[in-house]
């Protein structure tokens, strides 16, 4: 096989959020629905937003622009055990590509108002795709090391710091 | 704002599938569960696969390597009306990034056996992320122009060519 050639990608916009530091960011945006931000799509790509307003949720693919290092094994938030980078969602991955589902609240020109954000302010945006439940939902999903953190359907952000559940 | 700089990304592997031509590919991999393939992760990234086997499904981010053009408005499969490229999932998008959910059937060294594939054979892989239902499911989802194709929960691949439903 020929050695793979590097590929160039170019930001199509910027993601503006209230989060200026990694410590501010929720584990996942869906756990903090009030976390709002907006996407600035550069004007040369605005035409591509036609009909996006019909979708309630979008995938954003973006660059973890402040993740300098690559670590193939890392210990994610919630854990003390290291896992392979392809079994976690953290930023220190090869190519530093981020993926999030956000809720679309409105489209005005080249601006998308979004909620459930979990990226840093000023994040370079590489692509927007419609979130399509007909394509993107799967049944009988196993989530490896993560499932134990969601036992009884209680997400970790609802637990106390000692790991116990409110009311539990 | 400074003009955005191009970003270099490098394939971490290749996706091998039975599909050698765009016409062979299902609309979405989940509609053809028997469509199997495998991911070859380049050996220098194999360490990052630790604990991936605990996940039943993965997101693959890859390059639509045979999509030469960029079109900001295009007419997707199923439609005769053009839509903005960010409201569809097709390949002719800025940066040519593809995103699919696949089912993981096994991990052997640097090889992932996968099902529900919908990409061309030889597709350059850029990232693997665990599919986490706790993060990636959303309720009350509206899917714009796509919803009408899934009325009554009948996906379009189950319809006859004239649009009628089997038994309908």
DSSP string across B28-68? SGGG-TT-EEEEEE-GGGGGGGTTGGGBSEEEEEEE-TT--
For residues A87 and A6, is the Cβ–Cβ distance under 8 A?
Answer: no
For residues A72 and B48, is the Cβ–Cβ distance under 8 A?
Answer: yes
As a whole number of angstroms, the distance between CA A154 and CA A158 comes to 7
- With CB atoms and an 8 Å threshold, state whether B72 touches A146: no
**Single pTM value for the model:** 0.90
List the single residue in A with minimal CA-CA distance to B72.
A48
For residues B118 and B35, is the Cβ–Cβ distance under 8 A?
Answer: yes
Q: What is the CATH number of domain A13-135?
A: 2.40.30.70
pLDDT of residue A70: 96
Q: Which of residues 68-107 of B touch A (CB under 8 A)?
A: 72-73, 82-89, 93-95, 97, 99, 101, 103
- With CB atoms and an 8 Å threshold, state whether B97 touches A126: yes
Inter-chain contacts counted by CB atoms under 8 A, chains A and B: 237
Distances (CA, A) of B159 to A35, B79, B85, B90, B156: 40, 14, 25, 21, 5
Listed residue (B78, B89, B143, B97) closest to A53, CA to CA:
B143
Q: Does the structure show a pLDDT above 80 at A80?
A: yes
Listed residue (B3, B16, B1, B7) closest to B125, CA to CA:
B16
pLDDT of residue A164: 43
- At A160, the pLDDT band (50, 70, 90 cuts) reads very low
Total residues belonging to chain A: 168
As a whole number of angstroms, the distance between CA A57 and CA B139 comes to 10
For B101-150, how does the pLDDT look when each residue is reduced to its tens digit (9 = 90+)?
999 999 999 999 999 999 999 999 999 999 998 888 888 999 999 999 88
B28 chain-A contacts, CB cut-off 8 A: 134-135
Listed residue (B168, B138, B142) closest to B154, CA to CA:
B168
Structure tokens at A51: 């009909």
Residue A77's contacts (CB-CB under 8 Å, 6 or more residues apart) are A27, A90
Q: Does the structure show a pLDDT above 50 at B165?
A: no
For residues B47 and A72, is the Cβ–Cβ distance under 8 A?
Answer: yes
- At B157, the pLDDT band (50, 70, 90 cuts) reads low
Instruction: Calculate what percentage of chain A has a pLDDT beyond 90.
Output: 65
A137 chain-B contacts, CB cut-off 8 A: 137
For residues A125 and A15, is the Cβ–Cβ distance under 8 A?
Answer: yes
- With CB atoms and an 8 Å threshold, state whether B87 touches A50: yes
Q: Which of residues 125-144 of B touch A (CB under 8 A)?
A: 126-138, 140-144
- At B162, the pLDDT band (50, 70, 90 cuts) reads very low
Residue B109's contacts (CB-CB under 8 Å, 6 or more residues apart) are B46
Q: Which of residues 104-123 of B touch A (CB under 8 A)?
A: none
* Angle B96-B97-B102 from CA coordinates, rounded to 5°: 135
pLDDT of residue B161: 46
């Amino acid at each position: 096989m020929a050695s793979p050639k590097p590929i160039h990608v170019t930001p199509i916009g910027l993601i503006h959020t209230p989060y200026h530091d990694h410590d501010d960011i929720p584990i996942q945006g869906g756990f903090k629905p009030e976390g709002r931000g907006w996407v600035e799509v550069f004007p040369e790509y605005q035409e591509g937003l036609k009909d996006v307003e019909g979708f309630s949720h979008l995938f954003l693919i973006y660059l973890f622009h402040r993740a300098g290092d690559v670590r193939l094994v890392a210990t994610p938030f919630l854990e003390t055990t290291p896992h392979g980078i392809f079994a976690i969602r953290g930023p220190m991955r090869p190519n530093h590509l981020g993926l999030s589902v956000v809720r679309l609240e409105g489209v005005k020109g080249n601006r998308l108002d979004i909620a459930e954000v979990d990226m840093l302010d000023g994040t370079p945006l590489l692509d927007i795709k419609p979130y399509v439940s007909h394509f993107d939902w799967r049944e009988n999903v196993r989530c490896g090391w993560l499932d134990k953190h969601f036992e009884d359907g209680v997400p970790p952000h609802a637990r106390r710091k000692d790991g116990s559940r409110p009311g539990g």
